Structures are given as C-alpha cells and as structure tokens.
Amino acid sequence: MSRVFRPLFLLRNTQFLRLSIVFFACLIGLSAFSAARAEYSFCNKSSYALTASIGYVEEGRMITRGWWPLRAGECKVVITDNIQPGRYFVYAEAIPGHRGPLRAWSGDRSLCVENESLFTLRDQDVCQEDPRRQRDFFAVEVKKDNEGSWKTEFLDERNFDVYKAEVAGVQRLLQDVGMNIKNIDGNLGRATQSALRAYRTSRGLGDSGLYDDALIDRLIQDANENDEKLGFFFCNATEFPVWSALARSDQVGNYASSGWWKLEGSECAKVIRGALENDRFYVYAVMDLGDKDVPLVGGAKDFCISNVQFDAQAGLDCVDAGFTEVSFRQVDVGTEKAFTYKFTPDQFNPEFAVRKQPLSEESDTDE
C-alpha cells in the first residue's frame, strides 16, 4: 500500500488552522456570553465620589441593598442575576468629604438603609421610627426588552462621559482637600497636573502630575477625614433614647427648625455638615422613657416642631401651619467651626433648669 507523505510545514499549518478555528470559536462564544450576561450595573458619570443603594421586590418583599462606593467615572455591577422587567428603586449620595450641602440622587420612595456599613435589608419595618435610617429612592422602570441587563447612570450638570467624569472627580477631590483648583471641567490640563504634583508632594507620594485609583482613594480618605473635624454634632449622654431637633439661621438671620435625629444611649450624630458659619444655634429634645416622653427644659426661644420628621421654615405661625410651638435652648458657639452638644440627664429635669435663660457654660460642652 502506498503511503502519502505531506510536507512538515503543511502539517503544522493545518494544525495551526484548526487551533485557530477553535480559538476564534471560543472567542465568539465568550463574546456571545458577555453580550448576554445578566446584570444590573451602576455607572457614576458625575464629578462626585458616591455611595449607592438599590431596592427591588423579591418574592413579594421589598429588599434594599448597599452601599456600593463609586469613584467618579466608575461603573460597577450590583446585581448579577437575570434582571426582570418592572420597577426598581435607586439612591446615591456624595461622600461627606465633598464641600457644600450633601448632594443626593433621590426621589420620593422612602426605604430603609444601614448608615455605616454594607447591608441587605429584607424588613422595611426596621427603620419606621428612625428617620436617619431612611433614604428617598427614585424609581427606575426596567423595560421588557432589557435582555436581562440594565444600567443606571448618575449624572451631574456637566453631563460628562466616563473619562471626563473621572478627571472631574479628581479635580473636585483636590479642591476638597485644599489644593488650588478653580475649574471642575474634566480636562487634565496643566493646572490640574500642577495640583496633583502639589498634593503628592505634600503627602510624600512623589511628584507626578498623574493619578491612579490608589491616589483617588487617598484623596477620598483625606477629604472625609477633613469633614469629620467640622460641623455640629449631637451626643446623647443619657441611658435612654433621645429625639433631637435644631434651629439655625439663614444668611439674613431668620431661624428655621428641623428634626428629628434619634440618638440611642451614648450615641452621637452629625446634624450640620462642613465648617459652622453661625455663632448661635438653638436645640430641643425629647427623652423617650418608653411609657412617657420627657421634654428638654430651660429653653430660651420658641420654635416649631411636629410629631413626625419636619422642616419648619422661618417666620411661620406654628399653630396655623399645623406645628406645635416649644422652647429651644440657646447654644453660643462663637467662631468655632465644629461643636458638639451633649444631652445630659439634668437637662430634662425641671429642678435644674431656668426657663427662658440661655444655656450656661457648664452645660455648653464640646469635644
């Protein structure tokens, strides 16, 4: 029987062709799998570093999950299951280290969260009596033709793409930590690179005008640490829960009141972010003894409150507007940029209080 001999190079080329066909077939399969991958993702196209949360119905029960940190320009998968059409709820807020009022992407559906940690909550009754554990989520209608995936984008006024959002986020953080940044425009120009060099040098991180994820995380850490040192804090120095309220003035000296912040025994909460701009505030609280409520005494000025969470604007007639009028204690903070007010047991005891008198220096404590 005759034997056919093939040139060695032809055999090798044939094997290479077969391997190539298998390789490209695998690539096509992987591409098809990737295109059909089921997931819900968040994409931060704003100039703010965010933490985000999601709510959805599962087996007839509302579930909330969070917090996912998102650098500016970062996208992240938050659900890896097949995404069913219907209504989802989303909330995001900027990190506390950003200057100015808290920026939030919110709506009108109040749902429960944990304030300090990653969480999955399957019981929406756990926060009914604690407004600080509630956030106002916005609704997202996932369409039927979503192919199992959906993406929610967080935008700000500049409508950045992902890359420009990342650069703008670096610019905003540099501004937050005190570097010389005038414009948050998403352009990595000379001024931004100079600020990056100055920041790196001040922290012993070299002198490069570039950035990476590690540097962004360091900027976020520094901005948040700066914020922790500023603001107005309530601390509960009693063994019982305390519901607290605050009145502060606007730029023209008109006072508005708001509440409630619930403080468990020995718990503290920040009620004003950033450096304090006023030299005087007014505080009120109710101690919850279970079978009765004991109000703070020794007030100096009357303001509006309500039985539920409230914001009462300046100049209201409390009764006509459906509020109750009570007397708040006066707190003078002078030029301090941070101040801590402690609720102590004696402040709820009429025997130790002098009505309509400013708070004494002994009770006016800070850290």
At 143-179, the pLDDT tens digits run: 888 788 999 999 998 899 999 999 999 999 999 999 9
Sequence ranges of the domains in the chain: 39-155, 162-228, 231-352
The β-bridge partners of 41 are 77, 151
Query: Whose structure tokens read 């305390």?
Result: 242
Mean pLDDT of 69-90: 95
DSSP label of 295: E
Query: Whose structure tokens read 């919110």?
Result: 106
Q: Are 50 and 92 in contact (CB under 8 A)?
A: yes
Q: Are 99 and 175 in contact (CB under 8 A)?
A: yes
Residue 362's pLDDT is 41
Confidence of residue 36 (pLDDT cuts 50, 70, 90): low
Residue 145's pLDDT is 83
Q: Are 242 and 236 in contact (CB under 8 A)?
A: yes
Confidence of residue 352 (pLDDT cuts 50, 70, 90): low
DSSP label of 37: -
Q: Is 249 left (phi over 0), alpha (psi -120 to 50) or beta?
A: beta
pTM score of the predicted model:
0.74
Which is higher by pLDDT, 21 or 5? Answer: 21
Quick one: what percent of the chain has pLDDT higher than 90? 65
Q: Sign of the CA dihedral 294, 296, 302, 304? A: negative
Please check the confidence at residue 74 and state whether its pLDDT lies above 70: yes
**CATH among 2.20.28, 1.20.1260, 2.40.128, 2.60.40 for 39-155:** 2.60.40
Residue 253's pLDDT is 83
Please check the confidence at residue 358 and state whether its pLDDT lies above 60: no
Please check the confidence at residue 330 and state whether its pLDDT lies above 50: yes
Looking from the CA of 78 toward its CB, the CA atoms found within 13 Å total: 31
Which residues lie closer than 8 Å to 147 by C-beta, 6 or more apart?
A: 36
Please check the confidence at residue 291 and state whether its pLDDT lies above 90: no
Mean pLDDT of 244-263: 91
Strands 280-288 and 242-249: antiparallel
Q: How far apart are CA 272 and CA 258, in angstroms?
A: 11
Residue 164's pLDDT is 97
Residue 117's pLDDT is 81
Quick one: what percent of the chain has pLDDT higher than 70? 85
Which residues lie closer than 8 Å to 231 by C-beta, 6 or more apart?
A: 270, 271, 272, 273, 274, 275, 276, 338
Q: Which of 31-45, 142-156, 162-176, 237-251 has the highest mean pLDDT?
A: 162-176
Residue 308's pLDDT is 87
Q: What is the pLDDT of residues 300-316, one digit of tens each?
A: 999 999 998 899 998 88
Confidence of residue 274 (pLDDT cuts 50, 70, 90): confident
